Amino acid sequence: MRRKRSVIAIQAARFGCLLGLSLLLVFDSSSWAKERASEENSEARITVRVFNYAEVASRALEEGQKEASKIFRKAGVETTWVDCQVTAEKKVTNPACQEPLGHAEFALRILPRTNAVPPGLRDNIGFAFLPPDGRGSMAGIFYDLVEGLAGLGGTSRGVVLAHTLAHEIGHLLLGTSAHSPRGLMRGGWVKEELRQAAMGNLLFTPEQIEHIRAEVLERVRGEEMPRAARANAPE
């Protein structure tokens, strides 16, 4: 009887060890996955140079950038905004804004509406330039249409500006000028979209998020490779 109890005790001890080892492996893999996800979130970062030709008030501009950052953060992408100040003579004073754009950098112009707007863009609140390979880096917004849309929906200019910024950069990251039937990338916004925007619910779809994150990481890593090559190059 004692021997049987000893065997049962040994088996229980072995089971306990195996269970402990299994839990440790699960915990380690979970921790590794979280750590990896955190690393990817820090890697998935874009820089946007904002050229304020429309002389948007600093409060509205700051609100727009802050809210746009939230939209991209929900998509797993961090954003850095660079203020490319424009003088009355339309000259850019920040030397960093005159450097060539990196792989994960974008130039966005906030423009006043003029009669010089090409006919194909007159009804658009913004635009994104996409080359044949679909990997663009420049976009623009017409601020008077942002103001008009804000007035239509009773939404702040900053909120409408934020979603317009995210929408146009979204075109660049998705590599297409096509629109979706719902969400942030919908082609025409009406009161329902503006209501969702004010609530913070006008976002990229899960499919778009997956594509955007992959594109950002590819751009970031493509930018890091030449840097590493330069660092290792013989002097």
Residue range 95-134, pLDDT digits in tens: 989 999 999 999 999 998 765 666 666 568 999 999 999 8
Q: Which residue has the tokens 């509205």?
A: 60
Show the tokens assigned to 148.
């008009």
CB 47 within 8 A of CB 102: yes
Q: Is the pLDDT of residue 55 over 80?
A: yes
Q: What is the pTM of this model?
A: 0.77
The reported pLDDT for the residue numbered 234 is 41
Q: Is the pLDDT of residue 221 over 50?
A: yes
% of the chain surpassing 90 pLDDT: 57
d(CA 125, CA 105): 22
Q: Average of pLDDT values for 33-37? A: 44
Report the topology of domain 44-226.
Collagenase (Catalytic Domain) (3.40.390)
d(CA 203, CA 45): 18
Task: Give the pLDDT band (50/70/90) at residue 185.
Answer: very high
Closest CA to 112 of 56, 189, 168: 56
